Structure 1
Amino acid sequence: MMCKRLFLVLAFLLVPMSQVSAAPSKTQVNAALEVLQEAVKSMGPTLVSRFSLAELEQLLKQQGYKEVKVRESGSIVFNHDGTNYVLQLYDDGDLQLYFGVSGIRLTASAMNEWNRTKRLSRAYLDSDDDPGLEADLMANGGINEEIVSEFIKVFVNTSAPAFENFLRENGV
């Protein structure tokens, strides 16, 4: 129903005034604009192909994350409940979250167990053999603040804490 109303409003607004026998009243135009605005709102949040570092920094601060710092490398370090995370912005707009721990050793077999049994993230040993956890959000289908916020929340509230528990149980 909303799509039909939107179509009618757009058709009304796009008809050249020379083809209209009587000019629409201001009330009619305002009513048409209100319907158009409601139709646009009902379509949901607008998707974008990327966010800037400044926009991501602001989003993290609005979500209540602490010690939000933009680095020259194109990443942002932020803190949640005493743990630091890194949000990397890539040239194509994709985002990657990273959480790493030092001083804990994990066997390749244990790391494979995590990757085989867990969703939404991947674990690996970095160049110093320290465990790290990453998750990616591809921007090519479009992203918005809600999508990015949910991506971050799932990582910091679910994936990373589960990985910390896994490290405690399986660390050498």
Structure 2
Amino acid sequence: MAWSETDAGLFAAVLGRDTAHHLETMQPHLDAPAASAAAPTELQARLQHLVERSGGMWTYDIFWKDSRGAGGGGCAVLGWGDRHCRDGAWGPHDTAAAGEERSAARKRALLRLHGLYSGGDDDEGADYALRLDRVTGAEMYFLASMYFSFPEGAGGPGHALASGRHA
């Protein structure tokens, strides 16, 4: 999907140039957010256990789901499968004018990502973003991650998929 110059500028400012480039060039794993809604409770319990037992070191975790492209064949791709975020984990929000502006830009970027890649009314990321008054950096990364995909061998998660080893 081609971004407008406005989109490219917003995403580069909010996410950084490398992340924005990754999102622009790697098509997201579009069925993953819908799949997370139907995730087994056992997976959700395990993800929660990992975060809660990390002694405060982890704010959230993301389960990346393996997909084999159209019809189950082709190149393996990792996409958002499920997640857990510790309640109240985001900490204090910026209160200065610059922080408010940064937060508003993050919210615009999340809503634009949703508009470009999902568009469905039931998308949990867009629904969550709409409810936020302010968006922290951690929230931005966590919610933007649902639009990421990593083909086998691309980026850290893609290299882990290709090697069959944890990273």
Band the TM-score falls in, shorter-chain normalisation: under 0.3
The answer to which structure has the higher helix fraction is: 2
Q: What TM-score, normalized by structure 1, do the two folds share?
A: 0.25
The answer to which structure has the higher strand fraction is: 1
